[in-house]
Amino acid sequence: MLKNSPRPLPDHVDPLEIDYQRRRALGIYYTPRSAAALLARWAIRDRTDTVLEPSFGGCTILEAAVDRLRALGCRRPANQIFGYDVDKSAFTYLRRLLGEGETKQFSQENFLSARMPSPVDAVIANPPFVSYHRMDQKQREVVRSWRSRHSPTFAMTASLWAYFVLHSLSFLKMGGRIAFVLPSAATSSDYARPVMQSIGRHFSHVALFRVSEQLFIQAGAEERTVILLAEDYRPNGTQNSNFFERSVLTLVELEQLLNQVAYTGPGQQSNTAARSAAAEAISHARSSGVMLNLGDIARATIGEVIGDTPFFVKTLDDWERLKIPERYLRPIVTRTRQLPGIRITKPEVEAFYGAVPRLLVAANLRVPKSVAAYLGQYSLRDRELNATFAKRDPWYAVSYDCSAAAFIGSLSHSSPRIVLNIAKLSCGNGLYKLAPRSGQKWNSLLTVASLTSAFRLSAEMYGRVLGSGALKLEPSDVNKLLVPSNVPKLSLADARALLAKLDRMVRQGEHESATREADEVLYIRSGALAPAVLSAIRNSLQDLRGERLPSR
């Protein structure tokens, strides 16, 4: 072995997995060449333009910038590009691209701590996709320091990309441009709104394109992306900002749009109009007292944190083969597809080959030999690496609380719905438990409310779209979902008949018919919503669903 050569990794360690975990911790998802080229062509418009990449990583964007400058007639592109990155391996890529002596304008430091000596014409970036809860201590310290200097209006729990976007403004010349690849949270999260409002105040033209194509699927990230393009930077603000928002299927479609259509021009159709119309209609209904937020009357909490679902949750048939006694098993819903209707009943749970699996609940210190033998299959090393197990004593003591009045899924392709927990079982943390708030009485017709157009539209507005088109709801999003403030009083027989009818419709896939029936019962017959207002809400719902689940 040569002196000072690196020590070989143990046989059981996968170097690719180590590299993946390192990049994931840093929020590194290298930009596809097609995306980098598109951003560079849009942002760089003259051979004299200077360009900053605040997290250059694999140098794909820098390479596209070099190519673009050369195409415009620039002889020494390396003199006009600048960059920052904390990852040491990024500088290996950089030297390959520019050569050993051409990297003096690049610094290995956190961009949020950097100050540019002279402003640039364009910032092009694919910033780190690191959520607040995944930031390490060093990243959080940098964020706190940045916040102390800038006092932003968005919450500290914002993801790292939000800080990168706003910090980049201090590096821009007047009239400059920014082109960013961002996660879908840029158009759906609460903390993103003040970020985008700030961008709108400082640029004459801003465009947000939601791209259905999964740009980072090869890197293991399924989330859809957003392309942010903003031009004509005004440090002191602009009075005539033009904000444009649109969904596209692919980068090719986006490039055609940029080439053929003046996206900042007047008269262009945008789904921003649909969102604005929906927000206005819902805001009016909310302020008039017709609707309220689900969180006003119900509390959403995450389901049981199991730690290793495949190990602790199996079908009854599987547990029988393992000779685990039924007295140690409890029914548990772990996926939304196990709730095909709007209520879960005991007959469904008790069906031997039903869709509802069973959770191993063995909190007692003394367990039968068959249970002990099964638990013994879990190695001590794997138990020690599991953060959930470390919080439990004993490690296999999974909690089981079946008091929830209803469930709502955190992830759905169609629309989220409230499912009554008539069977009195629990759920895993892929779903949320709903219970009435103190002083409130649970009304079973809330599950009908979750089928209405207003409820579904609010889910489209507040949920986050993943790469597959699924809608992801956080507990804070669930709290914002809209339900009628006054549920009509029905006789017990009529309420049961309505629930049975809608449950059957949903199970048979007749979702739109169920929505119209729910709208009729809760909003039209009561006179709570005028038909014209409800029609506007339905139209907006159709627009936003079409945006999330475009026909291909």
pLDDT over 60 (residue 28):
no
Closest CA to 467 of 541, 509, 411: 411
300 shares its domain with 162? no
Per-residue three-class SS string for 333-363: ECCHHHCCCCEECHHHHHCCCCCCCEEECCC
Q: Check residues 194 and 467 and name the one with the higher pLDDT.
A: 194
In this model, does residue 24 exceed pLDDT 70?
no
Contact (CB, 8 A) for 497 and 521: no
Residues 236 and 349 in one domain: no
* Maximum Cα interatomic distance, the chain, rounded to a whole number of Å: 85
Residue 215 makes CB contacts below 8 A (sequence gap 6+) with 31, 32, 35, 181, 225, 251
pLDDT digit string (tens) for 202-254?
A: 998 898 998 888 765 444 445 678 999 999 899 888 766 678 888 888 888 88
Contacts of 214-218 with C-beta under 8 Å, sequence gap 24+, read 214/467, 215/31, 215/32, 215/35, 215/181, 215/251, 216/29, 216/32, 217/467
Q: How far from chain centre, in Å, is Cα 523?
A: 31
Do the Cβ atoms of 511 and 414 come closer than 8 Å?
yes
Taking a C-beta distance cutoff of 8 angstroms, is the pair 481, 488 a contact?
A: no
Residue with the bigger pLDDT between 215 and 269: it is: 215
Instruction: Map residue 244 onto helix, strand or coil.
Output: strand
If asked whether residues 234 and 300 sit together in one domain, one would say no
Q: Are residues 56 and 100 part of one domain?
A: yes
Output 153 or 258, whichever has higher pLDDT.
153
195 and 123 inside one domain: yes
Domain check: are 236 and 346 in the same one? no
Residue 386, domain member (yes or no): no
Q: Is the pLDDT of residue 4 over 50?
A: no
Over residues 303-344, the pLDDT tens digits come to 999 999 999 999 999 999 999 999 999 999 999 989 999 999
Are 176 and 123 in contact, with CB atoms under 8 Å apart?
Answer: yes
Q: Quick one: 303 and 235 in the same domain?
A: no
The pLDDT score that the predictor gives to residue 551 is 55
| Pairing mode, strands 298-302 and 431-436 | antiparallel
Please give the torsion angle defined by the CA atoms of residues 290, 293, 296 and 300, in that order, rounded to the nearest 10 degrees. 150
Please check whether residue 180 is in contact with residue 61, taking contact to mean a CB–CB distance below 8 angstroms: no
Same domain, 219 and 340: no
Where is the domain boundary, 210, 240, 263? 263
pLDDT score of 12: 39
pLDDT computed for residue 222 by the predictor: 56
Residue 239 and residue 338 share a domain: no
Query: pLDDT category, 279, cuts 50, 70, 90?
Result: confident
CB 500 within 8 A of CB 422: no
In this predicted model, what pLDDT tens digit does every residue of 383-432 receive, in sequence order?
A: 888 889 988 989 999 999 999 999 999 998 889 999 999 999 999 999 99
CA distance 281 to 290: 11
The residue segments making up the domain with residue 226 are 33-263
pLDDT value at position 77?
A: 92
pLDDT band at 294 (very low <50, low <70, confident <90, very high): very high
> How is residue 304 annotated by DSSP?
B
Position 380 pLDDT exceeds 80: yes
DSSP-derived secondary structure letter, 170:
G
Question: 60 lies in a domain?
Answer: yes
Q: Name which of 157-166, 462-471, 476-485, 528-537 the model is least confident about.
A: 462-471
For 47-70, write each residue's pLDDT tens digit: 999 999 999 888 889 999 999 999
* Residue 430 included in any domain: yes
Q: Any bridge partners for residue 207, and if so which?
A: 229, 244
Does residue 93 sit in the same domain as residue 209? Answer: yes
Average confidence score pLDDT of the chain: 84
Range scoring the smallest mean pLDDT among 13-22, 161-170, 225-234: 13-22
Give the Cα separation of 525 and 128 in Å (integer).
Answer: 50
Q: Do both 302 and 234 map to the same domain?
A: no
C-alpha separations of 543 from 181, 275, 357, 461, 469 in Å: 24, 9, 37, 11, 14
- Dihedral of CA 301/189/506/332: which sign? negative
Burial of residue 524 (CB within 10 Å: 0-12, 13-18, 19+) is middle
In this prediction, residue 84 carries a pLDDT of: 92
**pLDDT score recorded for residue 102:** 75
Whole-number pLDDT of residue 30: 60
The model's pLDDT over 111-161, given as tens digits with 9 standing for 90+, comes to: 999 987 789 999 999 998 888 888 889 999 999 999 999 989 999 989 999
In a domain, 27, yes or no: no
Report strand pairing: 482-484 vs 291-293.
antiparallel
Tokens describing residue 167: 């910090």
Give the sheet arrangement for strand 471-472, strand by strand. 411-412, 471-472, 464-465
Q: Which residues contact 358 (CB under 8 A, 6 or more apart)?
A: 313, 314, 315, 316, 319, 329, 330, 331, 332
In the structure, what pLDDT confidence band is assigned to residue 280 with cuts at 50, 70 and 90?
Answer: confident
> Is the distance from CB of 219 to CB of 188 less than 8 angstroms?
no
The pair phi, psi for residue 380, each rounded to 5°, is -60, -40
The phi-psi region of residue 424 (left if phi > 0; otherwise alpha if psi is between -120 and 50; otherwise beta) is left
Query: Is 384 within a domain?
Result: no
Q: Assign residue 177 a region: left if phi > 0, alpha if psi is -120 to 50, beta otherwise? A: beta
The pLDDT of residue 246 is 83
Token pair of 551, please?
Answer: 């026909």
Domain-located, residue 350: yes
CB 52 within 8 A of CB 123: yes
Burial 116-144 (b: 16+ CB within 10 A, else e): beebbbbbbbbbbbbebeebeeebeebbe
395 is a domain residue: no
Q: Is the pLDDT of residue 456 over 90?
A: yes
41 C-beta neighbours (distance < 10 Å), count: 17
Q: How far, in Å, CA of 241 to CA of 49, rounded?
A: 23
CATH number of the domain that residue 146 is part of: 3.40.50.150
Judgement on whether residues 483 and 426 belong to the same structural domain of the protein:
yes
Question: pLDDT-based confidence at 194, cuts 50/70/90?
Answer: very high
Number of domains in the chain: 2
Query: Residue 344 burial by CB count (10 A; 0-12/13-18/19+): exposed, middle or buried?
Result: buried
Please check whether residue 531 lies inside any domain of the structure. Answer: yes
Question: What is the per-residue pLDDT for 284?
Answer: 75
Three-state secondary structure of 407-419: EEECEECCCCCEE
